[in-house]
């Protein structure tokens, strides 16, 4: 049954609160909660804190307690099903039951196998009326906000977002490799806000050697830094690379061991991983599976044409984030060094999702057709 407009609006408020968990709650989902008293007054609001910290429901209950608002007989609107298991924190379903709430409205069921409907069952078993949205804007917004969490839990892969800054004629660097800066300061700041959403930022050794980027989140505030990952088959990342000096963890993933270079990188603070693929380079499917298994939900790719092409060609990119500058650069490097096509119908096809002006540039968001099918219960075959 569709939810009432009032329930939908309060669930949308819960999702808006959940946005504050970006850059904070990873690898846990981004969740918000609104509590009303039995008489319909706002009792408290909250959002999920850092991993191991209180979840949204507990934060909202604390706010209600601090404001002296009674919860017995009241209602909770939560953007994700309350947890039912003892993780690093006790189950939120139990806390809602103990508070004496009469009704809980949920935007989205939690597919995590320790929850997966058990939170709702537990609430119902305790006599609480539970309404779960089966469609509607709040459910959609909760899914979009947690696309990375849902992707890693439901298909064992991160949601891969590939970001490029390009000229109007599709160039991402001059022929000599220089690319700083094609887009303007507003687009760069916006790009950092997208990095902040990610559990990891991925680049290739080509970009590290050409640009010496830091790849951290600097231009917007954040509580946590995403893991920075460089695919670098021969461990050629210089130990003096700027990304090793920036705050946060760095993982260099290679394909052939090289004792001396590996020791130098370890001494410079890098974590190292060997994941050889059949072609002598890093196995990208295995890397993505490893990242998801280690809690990476959204993977933000900022790489050059070679790595971009490898990811796109393997069908591993779910979303494109393209900043287009109103400039023509003439000859230069492209977005992806894909092989020539024999026919137009062999093109990689995406759907436009959003288009916005950011400063002097345009931001285009596109999705690979079918990339989000897993959200609708379709099973996506695991990559080899």
Ligand X SMILES: NC(=O)c1ccc[n+]([C@@H]2O[C@H](COP(=O)([O-])OP(=O)(O)OC[C@H]3O[C@@H](n4cnc5c(N)ncnc54)[C@H](OP(=O)(O)O)[C@@H]3O)[C@@H](O)[C@H]2O)c1
- Rule CB under 6 A: is residue 69 a binding residue for ligand X? no
Report H helices in 117-199: 118-125, 137-145, 147-155, 185-197
The residue among 145 and 173 lying less far from ligand X, judged by its C-beta, is 173
Site for ligand X in 126-165 (CB under 6 A): 164-165
CA–CA separation, 209 and 333 (whole Å)? 15
Report the residue closest to ligand X, judged by CB: 304
Between the CA of residue 142 and those of 82, 135, 276, 360, what are the distances in Å? 14, 11, 37, 30
- Rule CB under 6 A: is residue 211 a binding residue for ligand X? yes
**Interacting span for ligand X (CB under 6 A) from 66-74, 78-86, 97-105, 226-234:** 226-234
Beta-strand runs (E) in the chain: 32-36, 42-47, 75-78, 103-106, 129-132, 159-167, 200-204, 227-231, 250-254, 271-274, 298-301, 319-325, 350-358, 361-368
- In terms of Cα–Cα distance, which of 322, 321, 317 is closest to 372? 317
Report H helices in the chain: 5-18, 56-66, 92-98, 118-125, 137-145, 147-155, 185-197, 205-211, 242-245, 259-267, 284-293, 305-313
Site residue total, ligand X (CB under 6 A): 30
- In terms of Cα–Cα distance, which of 49, 131, 125 is closest to 84? 125
- Rule CB under 6 A: is residue 167 a binding residue for ligand X? no
Site for ligand X in 289-318 (CB under 6 A): 302-307, 310
The residue among 205 and 250 lying less far from ligand X, judged by its C-beta, is 205
Catalytically annotated residue among 8, 45, 57, 302: 57
Among 207, 225, 237, 324, binds ligand X (CB under 6 A): 207
Q: Is 271 a catalytic residue?
A: no
CA–CA separation, 147 and 26 (whole Å)? 12
- Rule CB under 6 A: is residue 191 a binding residue for ligand X? no
- In terms of Cα–Cα distance, which of 166, 216, 172, 214 is closest to 196? 216
- Rule CB under 6 A: is residue 372 a binding residue for ligand X? no
Among 69, 146, 172, 225, binds ligand X (CB under 6 A): 172
Task: Give the phi and the psi of residue 297 in degrees, each rounded to 5.
Answer: -90, -65
- Rule CB under 6 A: is residue 234 a binding residue for ligand X? yes
- Rule CB under 6 A: is residue 34 a binding residue for ligand X? no
Over the window 318 to 347, marking each residue x when it contacts ligand X by CB under 6 A and - when it does not, the resulting string is ---------------x--------------
**Interacting span for ligand X (CB under 6 A) from 24-32, 173-181, 343-351, 364-372:** 173-181
Give the catalytic positions in this structure: 57
Contacting residues toward ligand X, per CB under 6 A: 164-165, 172-173, 177, 179, 182, 203-207, 210-211, 231-234, 277, 281-282, 284, 302-307, 310, 333
């Amino acid at each position: 049954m569709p939810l009432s407009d009032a329930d939908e609006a309060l669930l949308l408020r819960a999702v808006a609160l959940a946005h504050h968990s970006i850059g904070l709650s990873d690898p846990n989902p981004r969740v918000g909660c609104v509590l009303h008293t039995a008489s319909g007054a706002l009792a408290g609001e909250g959002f999920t804190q850092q991993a191991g910290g209180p979840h949204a429901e507990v934060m909202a209950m604390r706010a209600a307690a601090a404001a002296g608002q009674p919860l017995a007989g009241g209602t909770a609107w939560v953007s994700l099903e309350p947890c039912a298991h003892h993780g690093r924190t006790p189950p939120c379903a139990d806390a809602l039951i103990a508070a004496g709430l009469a009704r809980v409205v949920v935007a989205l069921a939690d597919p995590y196998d320790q929850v997966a409907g058990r939170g709702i069952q537990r609430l119902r078993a305790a006599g609480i009326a539970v309404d779960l949205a089966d469609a509607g804007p709040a459910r959609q917004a909760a899914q979009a906000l947690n696309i990375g969490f849902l992707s890693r839990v439901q298909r064992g892969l991160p949601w891969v977002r590939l970001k490029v800054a390009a000229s109007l004629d599709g160039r991402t660097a001059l022929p000599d490799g220089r690319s700083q800066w094609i887009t303007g300061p507003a687009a760069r700041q916006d790009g950092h806000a997208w990095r902040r959403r990610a559990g990891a930022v991925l680049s290739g050794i080509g970009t590290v050697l050409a640009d010496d980027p830091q790849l951290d989140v600097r231009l917007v505030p954040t509580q946590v830094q995403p893991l920075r990952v460089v695919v670098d088959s021969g461990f050629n990342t210089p130990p003096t690379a700027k990304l090793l000096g920036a705050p946060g963890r760095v993982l260099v993933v290679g394909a052939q061991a090289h004792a001396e270079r590996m020791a130098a990188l370890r001494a410079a603070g890098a974590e190292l991983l060997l994941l050889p693929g059949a072609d002598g380079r890093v196995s990208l499917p295995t890397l993505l599976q490893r990242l998801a298994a280690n809690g990476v939900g959204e993977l933000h790719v900022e790489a050059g044409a070679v790595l971009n092409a490898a990811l796109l060609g393997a069908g591993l990119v779910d979303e494109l984030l393209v900043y287009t500058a109103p400039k023509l650069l003439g000859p230069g490097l492209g977005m992806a060094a894909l092989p020539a096509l024999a026919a137009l119908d062999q093109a990689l096809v995406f759907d436009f999702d959003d288009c916005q002006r950011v400063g002097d540039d345009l931001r285009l968001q596109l999705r690979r057709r079918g990339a989000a099918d897993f959200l609708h219960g379709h099973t996506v075959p695991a990559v080899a």
